[in-house]
């Protein structure tokens, strides 16, 4: 490092490495001191002792060096400049929208919202839980269904989840056939085909006019309104379907539902769709929140997270994620779906958009879009031009015959992207941002005429069939009616934000989740219009900047992991697992090995692993772990030999979910390969590896990378995320593709795993920026300090708690597991009591009971400073001291600060203090809390009550309805 005081040139005063100390918490001097405290002469010595020699990279990564934030943003601007923002009226589920500025600045661009974690700890998550509950209410109201979840990844995968749900619950019809209306979005149809094949299901595309009698099927999917714009009566379809025991799924559009009769009122069983056009930028495909709504009867089979209303210890209403045990972590291969990370931040934005506009405002937007469409349709009809759809909401399919290509070109020259439909038609979908003069321009392009006076004339006749028109019977809850002024909205947002713990308050030491810095510079490009306003199916020559960025990011990620090819399509780790296992499946099939369907999974695996294996048509065989937490090699040898003929793959996490670098990994990979299997390494723990070791070098064939863990995409309170997969060369031909916008270099017939070809494209610049800032040197240092920080925490805590599992040198990888079971046996104090007591100290709890029940897994990441690590360790040690006092009898076994945690402000200031310890002990157990105190808004939330009395709508609704009924 240069010392500015002795600089001899301007070059020495220019610091390209300026970002490294911003990202990495401990200073170089502290790093050395911490290593010494642990018992190693230097950081390098700690790493040498911890990382098995066999897996170490032979050579450093071939990436450029660190760059400054200014340099990287300039570099990125060159890519942004190569993207062209046109008015895309392509539709197909993606529409331009206005993000209300108050939501953009205070939520989308606000780390208080975007750095929060999934609300597994309800007491510190009431703010985001409230908006997610409102999201569910919004979806239930507009779709007319009993129940909605708190988001899925995209419309296509939501439709696939609906297909598998109706297959599971339809006990009266065990047919394997699923019928899809031909006017569903083509990307959805492609995705359903991929999803169906490994499960032995058949997807048949039916003509829209055959839907009343499509033959034997367990389920049926209709698009409402259809991809070409038509609006059909769902009632006749559901009645006919139900008469033959076929369940009916509708894919729909919330803006259309402000005017159209709800699918629920027409008897539909499941409604799915995308909430993108509710204020979330198209982002070249994502991220945005899909929704999933269904009947009460199917609530326990519903995929994804559901927020429910429960009560806290004192009987106050409190929110929590309902049926958490139903989630994949417990149910594994019997899980309803593999969804883990979803789209919380985007669901929050969509719900806030609905609250900002309210039912009348949304209705107005819907009517305006519809009115403009009707006007265009009228002008076309007057000019003798054929519009194919008889009914419409916002989309028209116009016959143009041989003029198609000239017309598309002319539209481009005027700044519009039209949809290309077949060889003789174009599609036009209008949206919230469409102006009257744009519609006049579109009419002129097509050879029709809209005079300027039309803006003042009586609205053209509606395209919605009489029987399907809807009143404003939705969003009556006060939440949708109280925040229409910006002041009210701003204060509401701040109030909610202040209820939650995000990275803006304290470290979030969640093992396996890697809650590191999400630097502001990395976040800036997300809202640049050149990245935010592109339609995923815009012509290739308008997204050259994105293409160049993807190519470079793919190459960088390949360099980081040792793989030969990368797919940016999967929208989360779970989707990467599924895509990676599908690639393995296709590889075996191509070699004639159709019988290879066994997937070995160690008992310590994350729950998404077995759930994904089942989705990829594999049978899960569990491999035992030994007492050290390593894969039991002798059990593995037995299982591999036993299943040799049928062995498809093994899924292992590296370093293990126990936070250890297993020395046997190289042998493990070789053993699997000897028996013809493939090795899937779950890349969730890559934060311990980048620059030090690469799965592609030590024997793995495929991995997903959670970009929202290792590569700095924020968790958004439960999403978005991205789960690209890296593969070795022999699997490269089986990476996912898109039928609508094919990815250069991939076979056209490949599987589709996301609606958009590059998943949630608009957050990829975050990871690109991180790598560009850090360079090879910075990324390697980040891994080393992640390992250092974990070992430092383990070292400080080991005199007070049992640390489970260490490697042969007695060190851990990038996380450590604290065993609470012996303390519980001695005192009754559980891991949950410790987790909730940490809230009183202002901390988010570590990961609870994963991968081992009764434990806490701590992952500090490289971004936390020595001071913050010490503050956290001090809190844990103070808690241990309280447990000792319970043990000695100085504190009551039941009435103690641990069992009663967290303590709310109202409790501590109450005139009535019935407890056997002081208020001081409850609220200010360490002096530093006097400076900065977080107060949980509710006390401990009742887990059981919420599940027994599942209630997933906004509370107060009935009360409010009763009141308005008596008005």
**Positions that interact with ligand PLP (CB under 6 A):** 340-341, 512, 572-574, 606, 608, 653, 657, 682, 684, 706, 721, 723
Q: Which two tokens stand for residue 513?
A: 């989740």
d(CA 380, CA 385): 5
655 prior amide bond cis, ω within 30:
yes
Least distance between ligand PLP and beta carbon 758 (Å): 16
Which of 691, 721 has the CB closer to ligand PLP?
721
Sign of the Cα torsion 832, 834, 839, 843 reads negative
Angle at 935 between CA 930 and CA 937, to 5 degrees: 170
Q: What is the DSSP letter of 46?
A: H
Q: Minimum distance between the CB of residue 340 and ligand PLP, rounded to whole angstroms?
A: 3
The CA-based dihedral angle spanning residues 330, 332, 337, 338, taken in that order and rounded to the nearest 10 degrees: 100
Q: Do 681 and 650 form a contact (C-beta atoms < 8 A)? A: no
Q: Which is nearer to ligand PLP, 187 or 337 (CB)?
A: 337
H-type alpha helices, 643-694 = 665-674
Judged by CB, which is closer to ligand PLP: 762, or 827?
762
Shortest distance, CB of residue 657 to ligand PLP, whole angstroms? 5
Determine the residue with CB nearest ligand PLP: 573
Q: How far is the CB of 329 from ligand PLP (least distance, A)?
A: 10
The two three-digit tokens of residue 726, written as one number: 């890296």
First-last CA distance in the chain? 74
Q: How far is the CB of 904 from ligand PLP (least distance, A)?
A: 31
Please report, to the nearest 10 degrees, the dihedral formed by the alpha carbons of residues 760, 761, 765, 768 taken in order.
90
User: Is the Cβ of residue 579 or residue 776 nearer to ligand PLP in the bound state?
Assistant: 579
CB of 714 to ligand PLP, least distance (A): 13
Strand boundaries in 356-486, DSSP class E: 395-399, 416-417, 419-421, 425-429
Residue owning tokens 């883990």:
340
Q: How far apart are CA 91 and CA 64, in angstroms?
A: 40
Phi/psi of residue 525, each to 5°?
A: -60, -20
Closest distance between ligand PLP and the C-beta of residue 525, in Å? 21
Name which of 153 and 692 has its Cβ closer to ligand PLP: 153
> Taking the complex as a whole, how short is the minimal distance between the CB of residue 539 and ligand PLP, in angstroms?
31
What is the torsion angle, in degrees rounded to the nearest 10, for the CA atoms of residue 631, residue 635, residue 637 and residue 641? Answer: -140
Helix axis angle for 544-561 and 764-797, nearest 10°, is: 30
DSSP 98: P
Nearer residue to ligand PLP within complex by CB, 155 or 682: 682
Cβ proximity to ligand PLP, 314 vs 334, nearer residue: 334
Is 378 or 567 the residue whose CB approaches ligand PLP more closely? 567
Residue whose CB is less far from ligand PLP, 512 or 791 = 512
User: Smallest distance from the beta carbon of 312 to ligand PLP, in angstroms?
Assistant: 28
Order of strands across the sheet that contains 702-704: 565-567, 725-727, 702-704, 678-682, 647-653, 598-602, 619-623
CA distances from 850 to 395, 725, 818, 856 (A): 48, 24, 11, 7
Question: Between residues 224 and 661, which has the closer beta carbon with respect to ligand PLP?
Answer: 661
Min separation Cβ 292 and ligand PLP, Å: 16
Distance of closest approach, residue 284 Cβ to ligand PLP, in angstroms: 20
627 contact partners, CB below 8 Å, separation of at least 6: none
Which one, 350 or 572, has the nearer CB to ligand PLP?
A: 572
Closest approach, Cβ 572 to ligand PLP, in A, equals: 4
Closer Cβ to ligand PLP, 230 or 657, answer by number: 657
């Amino acid at each position: 490092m240069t010392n500015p005081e002795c600089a001899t040139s301007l070059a020495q005063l220019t610091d390209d490495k300026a970002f490294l100390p911003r990202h990495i918490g401990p200073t170089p001097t502290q790093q050395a001191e911490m290593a010494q405290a642990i018992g190693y002469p230097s950081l390098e010595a700690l790493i040498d002792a911890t990382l098995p020699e066999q897996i170490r990279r032979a050579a450093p990564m071939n990436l450029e060096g660190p760059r400054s934030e200014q340099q990287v943003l300039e570099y990125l601007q060159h890519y942004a400049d190569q993207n062209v923002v046109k008015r895309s009226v392509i539709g197909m589920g993606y529409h331009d929208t206005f993000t209300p500025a108050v939501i953009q600045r205070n939520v989308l661009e606000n780390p208080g919202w975007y750095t929060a974690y999934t609300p597994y700890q309800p007491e510190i998550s009431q703010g985001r839980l409230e908006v997610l509950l409102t999201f569910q209410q919004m979806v239930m109201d507009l779709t007319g269904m009993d129940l909605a979840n708190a988001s899925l990844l995209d419309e296509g995968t939501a439709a696939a989840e609906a297909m598998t749900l109706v297959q599971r619950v339809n006990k009266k019809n065990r047919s394997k056939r699923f019928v899809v209306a031909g006017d569903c979005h083509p990307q959805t149809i492609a995705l359903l085909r991929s999803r169906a094949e490994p499960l032995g299901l058949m997807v048949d595309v039916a003509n829209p006019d055959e839907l009343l009698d499509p033959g034997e099927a367990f389920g049926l999917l209709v698009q409402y309104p259809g991809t070409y714009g038509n609006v059909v009566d769902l009632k006749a379809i559901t009645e006919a379907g139900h008469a033959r025991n076929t369940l009916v799924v509708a894919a729909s559009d919330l803006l259309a539902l402000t005017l159209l009769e709800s699918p629920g009122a027409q008897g539909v069983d499941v409604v799915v769709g995308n909430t993108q056009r509710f204020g979330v930028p198209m982002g070249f495909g994502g991220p945005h929140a899909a929704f999933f709504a269904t009947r009460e009867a199917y609530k326990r089979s519903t995929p994804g997270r559901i927020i429910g209303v429960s009560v806290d210890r004192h009987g106050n209403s409190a929110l929590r994620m309902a049926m958490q045990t139903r989630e994949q972590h417990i149910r594994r291969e019997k899980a309803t779906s593999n969804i883990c990370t979803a789209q919380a931040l985007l669901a929050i934005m969509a719900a806030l958009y609905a609250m900002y506009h309210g039912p009348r405002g949304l209705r107005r937007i819907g009517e305006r879009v519809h009115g403009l469409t009707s006007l265009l349709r009228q002008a076309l009809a007057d000019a003798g031009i054929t519009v194919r759809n008889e009914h419409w909401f916002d989309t028209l399919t116009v016959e143009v015959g041989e003029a198609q290509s000239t017309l598309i070109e002319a539209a481009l020259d005027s700044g519009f992207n039209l949809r290309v439909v077949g060889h003789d038609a174009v599609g036009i979908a209008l949206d919230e941002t469409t102006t009257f003069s744009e519609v006049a321009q579109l009419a002129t392009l097509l050879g029709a005429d809209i005079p300027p006076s039309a803006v003042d004339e009586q609205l053209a006749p509606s395209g919605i069939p009489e029987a399907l028109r809807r009143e404003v019977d939705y969003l009556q809850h006060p939440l949708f009616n109280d925040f229409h002024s910006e002041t009210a909205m701003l204060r509401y947002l701040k109030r909610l934000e202040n209820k939650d713990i995000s990275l803006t308050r304290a470290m979030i030491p969640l093992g396996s989740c890697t809650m590191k810095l999400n630097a502001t510079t990395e976040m800036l490009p997300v809202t640049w219009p050149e990245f935010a306003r592109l339609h995923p199916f815009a012509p290739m020559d308008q997204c050259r900047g994105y293409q160049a960025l993807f190519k470079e990011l793919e190459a960088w990620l390949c360099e980081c992991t040792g793989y030969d090819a990368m797919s940016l399509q999967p929208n989360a780790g779970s989707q990467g697992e599924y895509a990676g296992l599908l690639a393995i499946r296709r590889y075996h099939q191509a070699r004639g090995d159709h019988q290879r369907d066994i997937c070995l999974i160690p008992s310590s695996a994350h729950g998404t692993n077995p759930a994904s294996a089942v989705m990829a048509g594999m049978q899960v065989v569990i491999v035992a772990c030994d007492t050290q937490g390593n894969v039991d090699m002798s059990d593995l040898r037995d299982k591999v030999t036993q299943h040799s003929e049928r062995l498809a793959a093994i899924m292992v996490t590296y370093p293990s979910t126990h936070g250890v670098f297993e020395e046997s990994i190289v042998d493990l990979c070789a053993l699997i390969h000897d028996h013809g299997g493939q090795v899937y390494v779950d890349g969730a723990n890559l934060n311990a590896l980048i620059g030090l070791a690469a799965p592609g070098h030590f024997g793995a064939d495929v991995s997903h990378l959670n970009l929202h863990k290792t590569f700095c995409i924020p968790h958004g309170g439960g999403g978005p995320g991205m789960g690209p997969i890296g593969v070795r060369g022999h699997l490269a031909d089986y990476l996912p593709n898109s039928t609508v916008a094919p990815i250069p270099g991939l076979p056209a017939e490949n599987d589709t795993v996301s609606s958009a070809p590059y998943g949630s494209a608009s957050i990829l610049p975050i990871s690109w920026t991180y790598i560009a800032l850090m360079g090879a040197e910075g990324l390697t240092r980040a891994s080393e300090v992640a390992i250092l920080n974990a070992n430092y925490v383990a070292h400080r805590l080991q005199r007070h708690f049992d640390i489970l599992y260490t490697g042969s040198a007695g060190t851990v990888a990038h996380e450590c597991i604290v065993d609470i079971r012996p303390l519980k046996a001695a005192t009754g104090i559980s891991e949950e009591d410790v987790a909730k007591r940490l809230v009183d100290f202002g901390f988010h709890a570590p990961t609870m009971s994963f991968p081992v029940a009764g434990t806490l897994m701590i992952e500090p990441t490289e971004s936390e400073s020595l001071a913050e690590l010490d503050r956290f360790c001090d809190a844990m040690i103070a808690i241990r001291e309280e447990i000792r006092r319970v043990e000695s009898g100085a504190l009551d076994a039941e009435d103690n600060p641990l069992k009663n945690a967290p303590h709310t402000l109202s409790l501590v200031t109450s005139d009535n203090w019935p407890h056997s310890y002081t208020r001081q002990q409850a609220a200010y157990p360490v002096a530093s809390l006097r400076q900065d105190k977080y107060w949980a808004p509710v006390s401990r939330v009742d887990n059981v009550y919420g599940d027994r009395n599942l209630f997933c709508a906004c509370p107060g609704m009935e009360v409010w309805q009763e009141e308005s009924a008596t008005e």
